[in-house]
């Protein structure tokens, strides 16, 4: 079960965190993985970990011409692109007053326009044979979280794009879903805590972990496991859905 043998997958933001875990698992399950990341070194390190049918490509997902060129190059060497995982994204702390126009634009360009750019470029290539698209949303698209104004906006847009794409391309045998994680223990989280709460790293890590009713943060591999299922043939009847993976955050945080 959950074999991706013979599948060709694009994973954006695959050089670290959740994207890295997805790339590693997809490769383990037999997929040819193309890791698109602004951090070329991080992407190359993941390819070295895979030690197989994987490729690292530096790409700024907010730049449509770059995306067009990269995807065209991948398509030129493959008969199809079977899986697209739109994982690349950035976070931001702030409310409507403290979020600058520059920050809002930066998050829009990466978290929203970046997803659009990949959809705009890959969907025409999938229409002939079908395919699977998985977008990375967040629990912030479903519930109010303090000081996540711009981030919540972008992740709400990701859910909307997911539903629209699923509806528009269902007759082309293209499935589109999204995942909404709560806090996941990634290098970004460790860096954020160290920068924001110097000297209180352990205390703040525990505090943030306990905001999930289950009492801990998710591990990137747990998100990757759900991504594998949704991108596999075993999930062939699933499209147009948003899947929270949140340790009870949405339903049990009363």
Phi, psi angle pair for 236, to nearest 5°: -65, -15
- How many Å apart are CA 229 and CA 1, to the nearest integer? 9
Which of 116, 151, 169, 172 does the annotation list as catalytic? 151
3-state helix, strand, coil in the chain (%, to 5): 50, 15, 35
Distances (CA, A) of 56 to 15, 20, 71, 86, 196: 9, 11, 12, 15, 31
Of 20, 70, 81, the residue nearest 45 (C-alpha): 20
Question: Cα-atom radius of gyration of the chain, to the nearest Å?
Answer: 18
Examine the residue annotation and report whether 151 is marked as an active-site residue of this protein.
yes
Neighbouring residues of 204: CB distance < 8 A, sequence distance ≥ 6: 193, 196, 197
> Shortest CA distance to 155 belongs to which of 196, 190, 110?
110
Q: Which residues are catalytic?
A: 151
């Amino acid at each position: 079960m959950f074999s991706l043998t013979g599948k060709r997958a694009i994973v954006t933001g695959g050089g670290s965190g959740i994207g890295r875990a997805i790339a590693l698992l997809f490769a383990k399950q037999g997929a040819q993985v193309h890791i698109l990341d602004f951090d070329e070194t991080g992407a190359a390190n993941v390819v070295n970990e895979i030690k197989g049918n994987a490729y690292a490509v530096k790409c700024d997902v907010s730049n449509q011409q770059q995306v067009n060129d990269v995807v065209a190059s991948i398509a030129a060497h493959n008969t199809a692109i079977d899986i697209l995982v739109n994982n690349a994204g950035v976070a931001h702390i702030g409310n409507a007053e403290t979020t600058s126009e520059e920050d809002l634009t930066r998050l829009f360009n990466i978290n929203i326009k970046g997803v659009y750019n990949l959809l705009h470029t890959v969907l025409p290539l999938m229409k002939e044979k079908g395919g699977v698209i998985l977008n990375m949303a967040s629990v912030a698209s479903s519930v109010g979280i303090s000081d996540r104004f711009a981030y919540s906006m972008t992740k709400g847009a990701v859910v909307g794009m997911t539903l629209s794409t699923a509806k528009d391309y269902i007759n082309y045998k293209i499935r589109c879903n999204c995942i909404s994680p709560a806090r996941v223990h990634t290098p970004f989280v460790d860096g954020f805590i160290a920068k924001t709460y110097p000297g209180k790293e352990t205390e703040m890590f525990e505090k943030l972990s306990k905001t999930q009713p289950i009492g801990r943060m998710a591990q990137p591999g747990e998100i990757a496991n759900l991504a594998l299922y949704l991108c596999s043939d075993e999930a062939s009847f699933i499209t147009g859905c948003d899947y929270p993976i949140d340790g009870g955050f949405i339903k049990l945080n009363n």
